[in-house]
Amino acid sequence: MSPSASADGFRVGRFVRDEALATLASEAFDVLVIGGGITGAGVALDAASRGLRVALVEKEDFASGTSSKSSKLIHGGLRYLQQHEFRLVYENLAERQRLLENAPHLVSPLPFLIPLFGRDGIVNRSVARVYLTALWLYDLTGGIRIGRRHERVSRDQALAHMPTLRADRLVAGFLYWDARADDARLTLAVVRTAVLDHGAVAVNHAPVTTLVTGEDGRVRGARVAPEGSEPFEIRASVVVNAAGVWSDEVRTMDEHGDPHSIRPAKGIHITVPNEAFPCDIAAVIPVKEDHRSIFVVSWGDQVYLGTTDTEYDGPLDDPSCLPEDIDYILGAANAVTTRPIGRSDITGLWTGLRPLLAPVAGKHAPSERTADLSRRHTVRTSAGGVVTVTGGKLTTYRKMAEDTVDAVAAELGRPSLTCVTKDLRLRGAGHASRVPAQRLDATAGVPAVPDDATAAAAHLAGRYGSETPDVLALAEGRPELLTPLVEGLRYLEVEALYAVRHEMAGSVADVLDRRTRASLRDARGAAAAARRVAGLIGPELGWDAQRIEAEAEAYAEARRLELTRAGLDPAPLPRPATTAAAVATAADAPGGRGSG
């Protein structure tokens, strides 16, 4: 798959796994990136857009690690101001602004409420002053660039956004602005931009098993064992390790000893229907016991809550949400609401590991808590020439990539290659599509709900942006593909087909967990839809009837296990009669009511 040149001189490629595997096996690259999370994706895009020949390999699916399991906020990090991380907040807010401009279909502004509680209508003055100072600093370090500054709101204004907040304790609140993104789709958009617009070559389901060292003692590539084909070597002048919480494993392949540089911290989220915690924005809810806070985030007709932040030393591949993790979130939420949330309200959950940098010997972290470890990133080059990037945030992936590719350029002896990603728009960020509403309207397959075609159009535009017509084109003459993929959710069958044909989805989980976010919204519904999804994508992937059954059952079993481990009932919940019509209306609209 040799890339051709586009009209503006950039190389263009194709996002097809078999072709990419053949190219990886036969050509030599300037850079091989290990890891297809947001960090590796960002590095691939930065390097390819500087004109380098880039390969990227991901052992599972793009974003299947931490990058699909975040709080999905593109934010400065208000709380980092308390840790006096002013420069970090400034950088985060600058990146937030760039993302709003470069991926407006995927990243949207999101207002946050900080409710102020007190006794007899009086707020603790020092608490209010701390928030006020932090919010002024937030605005001044760049927050204001979103076009709104923070404001104080009355008790009634706060209740209008979150009617079940405890009115007996609520005194007032602050509103400020941040942004949100669908983390997995953002990661995918970055990889696809690197490949389709800049000629990078990327594959998923292809783990690196060993590094290959040249006669000069420098690492000159890696051996991969792709699912469905024979292992082979990829040749590259420089290897980048962007393996997140697994980066010590990759470093061990190079440095022959575990550097113990990462301290993973687990974080979980839960999803509940909007009725369980009514809100139309996001909120920061204080957790008295440990002086942390959790986020409550409106997500279409659902709400998600998180996160925990606990040290983790279990298996990196499959972190579980445990009953005590759920207790922590429910305890924090139920302390401030009049409508207690119970386990039976929970429809979805996800668990991620933060790749935090372990404190360096001799340097003190503010405390032993992972919550207090820095969210900064580091880039280091080993004696063998492997460039490792670790730490950081979803929000700062572009800056992390810039710093990493600067180190790569130095290794290649080409320091004059300069970064061009500050203004580089991502795939789908072209002219927003206004087409779909009418086309969906004319389709018999769309459920008959008032305004449904408009909501469906907003849903698609908020996920695919200017590529929406390409998604809909697959349903030309096949109106049945415009029916919901998962009962009660907005995702359409055509999205599963688009995912395998154009987004390199290779499994039921790729479709239900990351190309759509169905399982995060409704784990039981996703399990029930596994057979339908396997039946849709199986023929595209060459599966026979037996494999379709096996893949569907394995996926459904994994969802049931996830629920059981968390202490939740895996049996399908009884659905209210109105649900199919009501759920997810307006979900995923780009204006902040949900982003996938």
Residues near ligand FAD (CB under 6 A) are 34-40, 57-60, 64-67, 69-73, 75, 207-208, 242-246, 250, 267, 307, 352-355, 392-395
For residue 34, the minimal CB distance to ligand FAD (Å) is 5
The three-point CA angle 594-131-351 to 5° equals 40
Nearer to ligand FAD, 246 or 299 (CB): 246
- Asked if residue 112 lies in contact with residue 175, where contact means CB atoms within 8 angstroms, the answer is yes
DSSP letter string over 464-514?
HGGGHHHHHHTTTT-GGGGSBSSTTSS-BHHHHHHHHHHS---SHHIIIII
Structure tokens at 389: 């990037």
For residue 183, the minimal CB distance to ligand FAD (Å) is 6
For residue 187, the minimal CB distance to ligand FAD (Å) is 7
Nearer to ligand FAD, 349 or 583 (CB): 349
Distance CA(107)–CA(131), nearest Å, equals: 26
Specify burial of residue 166 (Cβ count, 10 A radius: 0-12, 13-18, 19+): middle
**Whole-Å CA distances, 266 to 59, 293, 509, 523:** 21, 15, 21, 20
| Three-class secondary structure assignment of 165-197 | ECCCCEEEEEEEEEEEECHHHHHHHHHHHHHHH
> How, if at all, do strands 28-34 and 54-57 pair?
parallel
Nearer to ligand FAD, 250 or 500 (CB): 250
DSSP letter string over 131-152?
HHHHHHHHHHTTGGGGS---EE
Nearer to ligand FAD, 118 or 286 (CB): 286
109 three-class SS: strand
Nearer to ligand FAD, 34 or 276 (CB): 34
Distance CA(166)–CA(339), nearest Å, equals: 9
For residue 124, the minimal CB distance to ligand FAD (Å) is 27
Nearer to ligand FAD, 57 or 272 (CB): 57
Nearer to ligand FAD, 42 or 436 (CB): 42
For residue 456, the minimal CB distance to ligand FAD (Å) is 27
- Phi/psi of residue 402, nearest 5 degrees: -60, -45
Q: Give the torsion sign (CA, 434, 438, 440, 446).
A: positive
Distance CA(96)–CA(105), nearest Å, equals: 14
337 three-class SS: strand
For residue 35, the minimal CB distance to ligand FAD (Å) is 3
For residue 295, the minimal CB distance to ligand FAD (Å) is 8
For residue 37, the minimal CB distance to ligand FAD (Å) is 2
For residue 493, the minimal CB distance to ligand FAD (Å) is 27
Indicate the helix (H) or strand (E) that contains 50.
Answer: none
Nearer to ligand FAD, 267 or 596 (CB): 267
Distance CA(558)–CA(568), nearest Å, equals: 14
For residue 162, the minimal CB distance to ligand FAD (Å) is 20
Nearer to ligand FAD, 131 or 246 (CB): 246
- Asked if residue 39 lies in contact with residue 397, where contact means CB atoms within 8 angstroms, the answer is yes
3-state class percentages of the chain: helix first, strand second, coil last, to nearest 5: 40, 20, 40
Residue nearest to ligand FAD (CB): 37
Q: CB neighbours of 58 closer than 8 A, spacing ≥ 6? A: 35, 36, 37, 40, 64, 202, 203, 204, 205, 206
For residue 43, the minimal CB distance to ligand FAD (Å) is 9
Nearer to ligand FAD, 46 or 60 (CB): 60
For residue 71, the minimal CB distance to ligand FAD (Å) is 3
Nearer to ligand FAD, 237 or 308 (CB): 308
For residue 510, the minimal CB distance to ligand FAD (Å) is 12
Structure tokens at 48: 């390819």
For residue 394, the minimal CB distance to ligand FAD (Å) is 3
268 three-class SS: strand
Structure tokens at 392: 């950081």
Nearer to ligand FAD, 422 or 547 (CB): 422
For residue 19, the minimal CB distance to ligand FAD (Å) is 19
Nearer to ligand FAD, 58 or 91 (CB): 58
Nearer to ligand FAD, 76 or 525 (CB): 76
Distance CA(512)–CA(184), nearest Å, equals: 12
Nearer to ligand FAD, 153 or 191 (CB): 191
208 three-class SS: strand
Amino acid at 58: E
Indicate the helix (H) or strand (E) that contains 553.
Answer: helix 545-565
